[in-house]
Structure 1
């Protein structure tokens, strides 16, 4: 970054660091101890919708990669589209096997990135819930290399539990690279598993 960039307030973009996803299993232990949330076994990768043969080939490669996992007991990766036009590649695993889910999310992101679809990648999310059935997603922002909590209120149309999100932010500060700019904590309404 040059002197002119500093004067004009431009910042250098943070390179994606998909290995940050591997911090989720240890963060899940902290989250369970601090707030009583456990993994749901559902995770997803969100990207701007892409059509065409190149994406179909990349999706096929992701499918084959994940289907090769002999331990997979759930359905293969599903593709869904939300009401905002974003696409989600969804993986479901045993809730007690968060490391396998994280490996799926990492593999999907890596495969799409390797196929040239990195600019379309938006985020990845791993789902959690507590005994009161409150839902929580730990969202990884691909382009920022950071995480943030997203807690939709049950039964409330597009309302969030901001107090819970801030509680989780504080609890996970030592486990994950938390996004400090709260304006980047985008709601992911309609995300699979939340």
Structure 2
């Protein structure tokens, strides 16, 4: 699976963000905080078993089964959502030029520039991404790309803005209303 980006800043910040995330995960793992959810599961199930009445049967066996089920869920969440597993490099972090080509705007690929090596690692560290967040990134970039594709590229929006700024309203009453609106909403 690829991590797509639309510009060099996003390309670089995505890599830096995942390097920071890997460092935070290493800190959580090294400090033992990764065991905190499991301790919370045991304590909450123990308190729940103590609060139940005597009619529940063998509370020890029942709470052990609950702890086991919640442990499996916690392990799955930690492995899929928290634990960095996929290494991000120039091969998995892909710069998307499709929209710039549609609008006849030329942007070179990072591999064709001097940025190639600086985007694979940062001070010798490479980024590692959890599987779930790789999927979330891919889905959000797909939605963003679909939204961007809906923007017509034939219109030069900067030129439209300059034309609107040059336009003058001849009706003094309408000009005053526009000025009041601008002052009330944007000042």
TM-score by length of 1: 0.23
From the CA coordinates, give the structure whose radius of gyration is larger.
2
Kindly indicate which of the two structures has a greater share of residues assigned to strand. Answer: 1
Kindly indicate which of the two structures has a greater share of residues assigned to helix. Answer: 2
